[in-house]
Amino acid sequence: MESPSSANAGNSTDKGHRDTELAVISADSFATPALITRARPETRKKFFEFFTVPIRNANTRAAYYRAIQQFLAWVERAGYQDLEDIEPITVAAYIETLQRQAAPPTVKQHMAAIRMLFPG
């Protein structure tokens, strides 16, 4: 017998949207950046929620994760120990560096991911 998800997989809904399944992400399902590991429990929770709640598309979620992982690795190499120490000037320096190494769409994607993770 087919499960409901396999019976509807790939079918369009009345509104023309494809049915999708939400993948649950846990701390064990991918490498956690050290800055996140050292963060307070509520910060770690927000980090994992960031990759499950607001980003519905799996490809976007994966791309944003790679962008954030790359940004946090750069931040750590620059000597930052805590997320709270990251300021707008830090992000600007990262984007400046990235612009010399990556194509404009990649830079825009990284900026969008960082803005989403560090709102306001």
Residues 54-82: tens digit of each pLDDT: 788 888 888 999 999 999 999 999 999 88
| DSSP secondary structure letters along 77-113 | HTT---GGG--HHHHHHHHHHHHTTS-HHHHHHHHHH
The structural domains of the chain, with segments of one domain joined by +, span 4-117
**What whole-number distance in Å separates Cα of residue 64 and Cα of residue 114?**
8
pLDDT of residue 101: 95
Spans in the chain with pLDDT lower than 50: 1-27
pLDDT of residue 120: 63
**What whole-number distance in Å separates Cα of residue 120 and Cα of residue 116?**
9
pTM > 0.85: no
Residues 6+ apart with CB under 8 A from 114: 67, 68, 71, 91, 94
CB 33 within 8 A of CB 69: yes
